[in-house]
Chain A
Amino acid sequence: MTNKSGSAVEMINLQRIFGDVKALDGLNLTIKPGQLVALLGPSGCGKTTALRLLAGLDLADGGQITVDGRDITNVPANKRDMGMVFQAYSLFPNLTAVENVAFGLKVRGISEEIRIKKAKELLDLVGLSREANRYSHQLSGGQQQRVALARALAIEPKVLLLDEPLSALDAKVRTQLRDEIRRIQLEVGTTTLFVTHDQEEAMAMADLVGVMSNGKLEQIAAPDDIYANPATAFVASFVGAMNRIPAKLSSGKVEFLGQSVKYGGGSSATTVVALVRPESISVTPTKVNDSKSGTVIARSFLGPQTRLTVKTHEHGTHLHVDMASSDALELTAGTNVSLTITASTVLTDADGKN
């Protein structure tokens, strides 16, 4: 069952065009053996297309895909040895859970005794040995996706492909299954490509997160790196919460809220928008009304943290500020506060974009 080695995947300059739309516009992606890479992006960014090309369910208009150095760009789906879990429930309704898991082995001509034994082992791995003889309509959504995962792993795939497998589930099951998929993936060591629009999911599960936009990979890095050092304004805005504050750029400094911070990349126009995370702003009560102050207009308690909404005096911009709940007790709505940027560098985006 275990496949500790995993396969190396390489996508080189992949192109896929639907009519006038370039779903993939020169995608380059390398996945090392055993890695779990999450492709993250808004809908229509090409992440699912990339996964379907790797699965062979769609064919590229240009570029190359290799697995362990072997070119599989034009190999049909049924000859690729990819295990896939879909967003929609995909169990075969005419087969029981154990028959579903054994299906891939059956089409490979493996004897019934061996394939049922193996299917039962995999159902055990996903914690569903007692549901082996149930049909899909007798299983909950979470159980169906677990069976689908077991079915994908049964063929000992070179690559495991997960196409938003959690998005149809409710929040609690989603978190549970997310951790379980990661545990199983680490246990079997299969190289995995995971596609999602949910950044929390991507951050929590992946070794590397690739952020996609308009058919291209904007940045690929470890989750903490993506969050702390976004390479582009798009990545900065897409991953995590981000304040957009009107700013001016002069001699390598971004000037806003009466302060100047080192320019960290992005738009280089004179008038720009500074991108600042809610936790990179600190507030202290003040009586002064100047360009670095504002008024608290709302406060949301989020458990250990509290998020303040502050309206700046300079431009009337609404900012989010995250702080420890214990420090936020006195900062009720109407409090006048002074705003300090704690980030050492800031990214900028072109003015006028939202």
Chain B
Amino acid sequence: MNKNNSSTVTAKPGLGLNAWMIAGLLFFTVPMFSAFIFSVQVGDGTYTLGAYRRMISDPGFGEALWISARLAILTVAIAIGIMVPTVTWLHIRAQRAKRIVEFITLLPLIIPPVVIALGFLGSMPLWLKDSVYMLVFAYVVLSMPYTFRSIDTGLSAIDVKTLVDAARGLGASWRQVMVSIIGPNIQSAIFGAIFLTVALVLGEFVISNLLLWSTLPVWMALVGMSDAEGAVALSVMSLVFVWLLLMLLSSLNRRRKVRVNVGGLS
């Protein structure tokens, strides 16, 4: 095979790959861009940020955002607080039960949201039915497929059993094992789980709507019925917000890693 041939052979997959990447990029950006244009264009063809101003100044927006933010924080705290010790336990003491638990965590993806919502309504105690925080329990369950997988992957990358045995042998309590050893070593996985959970809470519509709580997505849908540009402006904002949050989490994660590496070289 001569040089020319080999160069064409190597060039082809590169071109194909680029084409795929461009196609993929367009697939994601075109709808977002169209939505943005729709939200800023007025009937006579001029552009204005009026829809954005209108939405932000609406008192319902702040209220819905505040509800969703509180729900997101609580959901993350409970989901991570339950899932990290549970999956760690599965890794060190009950490897065989892991598959069963993995299947259970998948159930929220299989059971229709309507069924989950009605189930919640039926099983919650009365005092909780009155509170928006009942949604937290639903969201913790809904986030299980993502938090379990993320943390499981993180733990699979380290020798959990040996590290736990070593820490226990050195006198660490279970709390110290989790906080000082397991947590820092699966940090990326925990950040991933946090991000997915926040994205889920900020986007969940069916259950909160059925249970009549005006979370951000529910409020957005409500606004969309009377103000199309406003609703799209909100979608764009929430997209940008989630994206910023992702950047923030991943940069926090990277910064900690860099600190570790730099410290190591000194």
Contacts and interface: CB of A to CB of B under 8 A. Distances in A.
B185 to A, nearest CB: 5
B264 A57 contact: no
B173 A107 contact: yes
Contact of B171 (A78, A88, A93, A135): A78
Interface stretch (B66-74, B156-164, B208-216, B234-242): B156-164
Contacts of A155: 170-171
Contact of B168 (A57, A92, A96): A57
Given A57-B165, A86-B162, A135-B264, A92 B171 contact: no
Contacts of B176: 107
B162 A78 contact: no
Given A90-B166, A134-B264, A107 B172 contact: yes
A353 interface: no
Contacts of B266: 133
B167 A92 contact: yes
Given A86-B165, A88-B159, A107-B172, A96 B263 contact: yes
A161 B260 CA distance: 30
Question: Quick one: which of B165, B180, B185, B265 has the most chain A CB within 10 A?
Answer: B165
Given A107-B176, A133-B266, A92 B185 contact: yes
B184 interface: yes
B169 interface: yes
Interface in B173-210: 173, 176, 180-181, 184-185
B155 to A, nearest CB: 13
Interface residues of B, number: 24
Bin chain A's interface residue count: 35 or more
A122 to B, nearest CB: 13
A251 B68 CA distance: 93
A133 B265 CA distance: 8
Interface in A181-225: none
Given A78-B171, A78-B172, A93 B166 contact: no
Contacts of A133: 263-264, 266
B158 A93 contact: yes
A267 B171 CA distance: 48
Contacts of A88: 159, 162
B166 A84 contact: yes
A284 interface: no
Given A57-B165, A90-B162, A93-B158, A151 B264 contact: no
A138 B265 CA distance: 9
A256 interface: no
Interface string A98-119: 0000011011100000000000
Interface of B: 158-159, 162-163, 165-173, 176, 180-181, 184-185, 260-261, 263-266
30 contacts: A55-B169, A56-B169, A57-B165, A57-B169, A78-B168, A78-B169, A78-B170, A78-B173, A83-B170, A84-B169, A88-B162, A89-B159, A90-B162, A93-B158, A93-B185, A94-B184, A94-B185, A96-B263, A96-B264, A106-B180, A107-B170, A108-B171, A133-B264, A133-B266, A134-B264, A135-B260, A135-B261, A138-B265, A152-B170, A161-B169
Interface of A: 55-57, 76-84, 86, 88-90, 92-94, 96, 103-104, 106-108, 133-135, 137-138, 148, 151-152, 155, 161
